[in-house]
Amino acid sequence: MARFAVLLLLTAPLLVAAQFGGGFFEHLFERGDHQQQRQQDVGSDSSWYRQVYHQAHCSKYLCPGTLSCVDRATHCPCAFPDNEVKFELSDGSKICVSKTGKPDVITKRVELARKGQL
C-alpha cells in the first residue's frame, strides 16, 4: 500500500499537467511576471516613444503629443482633455492650457498672450 501511495505522489503532477495541457503552471506564473513588468518605470530616454511613433500608421497628420491621426495639426487633441483646454493660434498651431481657475480667466489670458500683452 505504501508503494502505491509513493507511485501516486510521483505521477500526480504528470496527470495534472496532462489534464491542463501542460501550460497551466506557465500561465499561472506568467501573470505575476506581467504584473511586475507593468510596475516598472519607463526608460529615462525617448526610445519607447520613438519606437511607437515610427510604428504608428497615419495617412494624414500624426500628432506628436498624442499620436492621434487627424486632418491637420490644429485638430490634434490635448493629451489630457479633462484637465486642459485647447486653443488654436493664428499661426496655425495650437496650445493646451491647464483648466485651473475659472474658464473665462483662462480664455482672457490666452487672448492677451495672443496680442502680446501678457
Hey, where are the domains in the chain?
A: 48-77, 80-118
CA distances for 3 relative to 6, 7, 8, 11, 14, angstroms: 5, 6, 8, 12, 18
The answer on pLDDT for 13 being more than 90 is: no
Q: Quick one: average pLDDT of 76-104?
A: 84
pTM for this model (two decimals) = 0.54
Q: What is the pLDDT of residues 32-76, one digit of tens each?
A: 555 555 677 877 888 889 999 999 999 999 999 999 999 988 899
Looking at residue 94, what is its pLDDT? 84
- Indicate the helix (H) or strand (E) that contains 13: helix 2-19
